[in-house]
A and B are shown apart, each in its own frame.
Chain A
Amino acid sequence: MSGAGTLLEVSGISVTFDGFRAINNLSFNIGHAELRAIIGPNGAGKTTFMDIVTGKTKPDEGKVLWGDMSRNLIGMNEAKIARAGIGRKFQRPTVFEDQSVFENLLMAVKNDRNPLKVLFFRPKFKDFAKVEELAAEIGLSDQLERRSGELSHGQKQWLEIGMLLAQDPKLLLVDEPAAGMTLGEREHTTDILKEAAKTRAVVVVEHDMDFVRRLDCKVTVLHEGSVLAEGSLDHVTKNQDVIDVYLGR
């Protein structure tokens, strides 16, 4: 189903770690402005899937085609893939704790990444404006000068999401964004992700069913490295296979 509306097309990828098949002939598509949740039990291959798309892990076989030109991402390094427009948020908030919120965001704002250009880069008005706009969006406007290591866990998660948005990616891969958040923080996170999905593709890996329900989007269920079911949350939760391997436990 590789139609004109496909942004990322993953077809027939497999990867084996020391004999363990983490991903088994997995195929997956996502459109240009779509929110998608991926759920699945531990070891279903959710994180490995993200590793493959972002270039961290090389698959044994299969293709990952990207964008309207259908470029193959396999063999490109992480930085190149990131520059092509794929942003990734890790499970644990990984912000640069030694640096201020402003510096974290400025580093992520889309600009030339060439070392020499970066060396002589001095932020212009539009860069300041962009950082402030993002900070407002993630609720950190008052914290710009603070060192990000001082932020609370939830604020770090948002800062990382803010850094993702600053990269202005066409596809966002978000790994367990709600981990360690309070109910209020979760709701805010849902809003940010839904807002982002209006203009770009967002893939959310999540364990928490309530959170997925709140996202109100198409769901892909992974199991043992391949797609078990796909559809609305209500649809997949009625699927007998899904109940057996995941929900019924």
Chain B
Amino acid sequence: MDMFKKNPSLPVFVAVLVIFTLAVTFMSEAYGAGGISTSFVKTLGKTLCLALVAIAMDLVWGYTGILSLGHFAFFGLGGYMIGMWLMYARTKLIVLDSFANAPLPPTASEISDAIGTQIFGVVGSSDFPLVWYFAHSFWAQIALVVLVPGILALVFGWLAFRSRVTGVYLSILTQAMTLALSLYLFQNDSGLRGNNGLSGLQNLPGADGVSQDYISIWFFWASALALLLTYLVAAFIVSGKFGSVIRGIRDDEARVRFLGYSVEGFKLFVFTLTAVIAAIGGALYYPQAGIINPAEIAPIASIYLAVWVAIGGRGRIYGAVIGAAFVSLVSTYFTGGQAPDVNLGFYTIKWVDWWLVLLGLSFVLVTLFAPKGIGGLFDLISGRMSPNRHGVPLGPDKGSLREEEAEK
């Protein structure tokens, strides 16, 4: 099939992911020898979700050329949507439990008030805001995971692309959207518990008897499956003519227009689809993280996302996966206090403080010296190098010259 021919990396990726998943399973505390701690299983599961959102970023930036600095906002929104159900359902169980010994069975409004007090007491409220209208329903919130970020991306993208906002202006616009969203969520009356965010998400309602050892590995499997499906969808999208068109848009938008393709329609499609993919990633990530708050949506997170994809290698799907996995795991290592301090005699380098400097420096170095990122290393093996064609622009006055004549 075309998809496999265009992506020789696809079977390799699938094999690596399957082996990795099995290896982690057999070394987990729940199903194996216990070589990997539960918290590290969670870290790995979260890393898979980050790889997933990096694929979305690669589709929108690496393939279509839209440097969106807002895709982590969609990721976070997905997390909020699933978090609302998790928090509501679990609080409801606790409340029902506490009423169990009451002499009179509680009324529906008493239950609702008690849940409200439990959830919103921290922001000095007890009423359910309108945005929690569907929080009692698992399936409704699952639908909202896709719908809320999808519709936001659709409306935002329609307005931006229709006005032909491109390049750095579009990046600034997406950044502004992200900032506005996170500032809004920081407010206590946003209805999503302000800067406290939603917490306790690692506890699945009705699974009190199941230890986190098992829950963590279930989420790890779900994340691996989601990543696999995302990879397949992305490979399908970029392999055919659609892939040709979006890469064309990245390289020369005007030319694609003169071929009769509505550039805006294609951009909107990719932007919205990747927002939905990001949201699904977020819905799997935050139950493993256990907490989501507006700081997660802050613009810096979306910039990290772009850094991962740049370091991993833009315009190749496995590059995004490698970048996200590599950088986030290294980041965990350095910021987790595991990296030994470097004593220079006059100054001690503490990696917790210096990690960001290191990351920023490597981003600059990759951009300058290895624009293909880590993924570019694979080109050395497969011999896929681009020829050095400089292509001098020949203006009308030099129009009748050949390139070598004009260059003299």
Contact = CB atoms under 8 A, between A and B. Distances in A.
Interface of A: 42, 54, 56, 77-80, 82-83, 87-88, 90-92, 94, 96-99, 103, 106-108, 113-116, 118-119, 121-123, 147, 149-150, 153, 163, 167, 176, 178-182, 207-208
Nearest to A123: B241
Contacts of A103: 244
Contacts of B242: 115, 118-119, 121
A167 B260 CA distance: 9
Given A97-B389, A178-B400, A180-B399, 10 more contacts: A56-B254, A87-B258, A91-B396, A119-B269, A121-B240, A147-B387, A149-B386, A150-B387, A179-B394, A207-B399
B266 to A, nearest CB: 5
B247 A99 contact: yes
Nearest to A102: B244
Contact of B255 (A94, A98, A150, A178): A94
Contacts, number: 114
Interface string B189-225: 0000000000000000000000000000000000000
Given A107-B248, A150-B387, A150-B389, A42 B266 contact: no
25 contacts: A78-B254, A79-B257, A79-B263, A80-B260, A82-B259, A82-B260, A87-B258, A91-B399, A92-B394, A96-B251, A96-B255, A97-B389, A107-B241, A107-B245, A115-B262, A119-B237, A121-B241, A122-B2, A122-B240, A147-B387, A150-B387, A163-B259, A182-B402, A208-B399, A208-B400
Contact of B260 (A92, A113, A123): A113
B20 interface: no
A176 B252 CA distance: 20
B393 interface: yes
A62 to B, nearest CB: 21
Interface centre among A90, A91, A119, A149 (most CB of B within 10 A): A119
A207 B396 contact: yes
A123 B241 CA distance: 9
A77 B257 CA distance: 9
Contact of B393 (A92, A121, A163): A92
A54 to B, nearest CB: 6
A78 B253 CA distance: 11
B402 A181 contact: yes
A181 B394 CA distance: 12
A82 B266 CA distance: 16
Contacts of B406: 180
A87 to B, nearest CB: 7
A115 B400 contact: no
A96 B257 contact: no
Nearest to A89: B258
The B interface is mostly helix, strand or loop, or mixed, namely: helix
B397 interface: yes
A96 B249 CA distance: 9
B403 interface: yes
A54 B252 CA distance: 17
A82 B255 CA distance: 11
Nearest to A176: B399
A227 to B, nearest CB: 19
B260 A79 contact: yes
A77 B253 CA distance: 14
Contacts of A94: 252, 255
B151 to A, nearest CB: 18
B167 interface: no
Interface string B373-408: 000000000000011010101101101111100100
Nearest to B6: A103
A180 B237 CA distance: 37
Contacts of A180: 394, 399-403, 406
